[in-house]
């Protein structure tokens, strides 16, 4: 990492904070196995019970996942993300239904509240997304598409809505990667951006909903 040595007061909380920070900072990406217990004990200068309690707390929060006989893996980047991932489970349809609710309201509010800087950022992210689509790189496209939709929600200037969507980012990225081959480009992302830039509240919300409806309609029942 390295982790800083924990003080002797509130050890469990300090270890929880340091482990969480390693996830947030990207030192331990989602899907990565974290260092084993022995390494963490030596790095932090605390006992095994303290490390175990901290890992157990983060697993309960959905950030870590303990796999017996294999190790402990990063499952999500925040408590919100962990909670939403538990709520959505592995069902793609459920993830998309949650996306639809957040993205429709995000687009509606973005059209009403976006700044010139927001629009400029959206245009840049849309260009990057379209370039990845043309290049045919599924992973890069999924990340770029998610970044665009997150920026739309962020343009709503609703901190709670943005935090909820940010917590779902891993699931959104996975859903994009899974469905990007479907013929959903009938709903043009550029048109969605145009409605937001023009302040067309209902048009932006309608297009955002249609985009997810097209994907949902294409899923097997």
% pLDDT > 70, the chain: 86
Find, among 59, 23, 74, the residue nearest to 51 by Cα: 59
Tell me the pLDDT band of 3, cut-offs 50, 70 and 90.
low
pLDDT, averaged across the chain: 85
Query: In b/e form, how buried is each residue of 96-126, taking b as 16+ CB within 10 angstroms?
Result: bebbbebbbbbbbbbbeebeeebbebbeebb
Asked if residues 155 and 192 have their Cβ atoms less than 8 Å apart, the reply is no
> Within the chain, which residue ranges are assigned CATH 1.10.10.10?
11-75
Cα 82 to Cα 62: distance, rounded to the nearest angstrom: 4
pLDDT band at 87; cut points 50, 70, 90 = very low
Region 75-86: mean pLDDT is: 66
DSSP state of 33: B
For residue 5, pLDDT over 70 is answered with no
Query: Distance between alpha carbon 26 and the CA centroid of its chain, in Å?
Result: 13
Domain with CATH 1.20.120.530 in the chain: 81-217
Top-level CATH class of 81-217?
mainly alpha
Instruction: Report the predicted TM-score, pTM, of the whole model to 2 decimal places.
Output: 0.63
Q: What is the CATH number of domain 11-75?
A: 1.10.10.10
DSSP 3-state of 32: coil
Query: To 5 degrees, how large is the angle CA 197–CA 171–CA 91?
Result: 120
What are phi and psi for residue 61, nearest 5 degrees? -75, -10
């Amino acid at each position: 990492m390295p982790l800083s040595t924990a003080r002797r007061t509130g050890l469990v909380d300090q270890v929880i904070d340091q482990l969480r920070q390693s996830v947030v900072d990207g030192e331990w990406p989602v899907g990565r196995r974290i260092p084993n217990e022995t390494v963490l004990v030596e790095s932090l200068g605390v006992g095994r019970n303290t490390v175990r309690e901290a890992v157990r707390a983060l697993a309960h929060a959905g950030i870590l996942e303990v796999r017996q006989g294999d190790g402990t893996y990063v499952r999500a980047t925040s408590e919100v993300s962990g909670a939403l991932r538990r709520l959505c489970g592995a069902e793609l349809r459920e993830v998309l239904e949650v996306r639809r609710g957040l993205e429709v309201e995000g687009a509606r509010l973005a059209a009403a509240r976006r700044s010139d800087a927001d629009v400029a950022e959206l245009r840049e992210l849309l260009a990057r997304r379209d370039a990845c689509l043309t290049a045919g790189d599924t992973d890069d496209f999924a990340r770029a598409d998610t970044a665009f939709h997150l920026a739309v929600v962020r343009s709503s200037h609703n901190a709670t809505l943005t935090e909820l969507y940010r917590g779902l980012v891993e699931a959104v990225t996975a859903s994009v990667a899974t469905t990007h081959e479907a013929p959903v480009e009938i709903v043009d992302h550029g048109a969605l951006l145009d409605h937001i830039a023009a302040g067309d509240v209902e048009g932006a919300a309608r297009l955002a909903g249609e985009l997810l409806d097209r994907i949902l309609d294409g899923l097997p029942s």
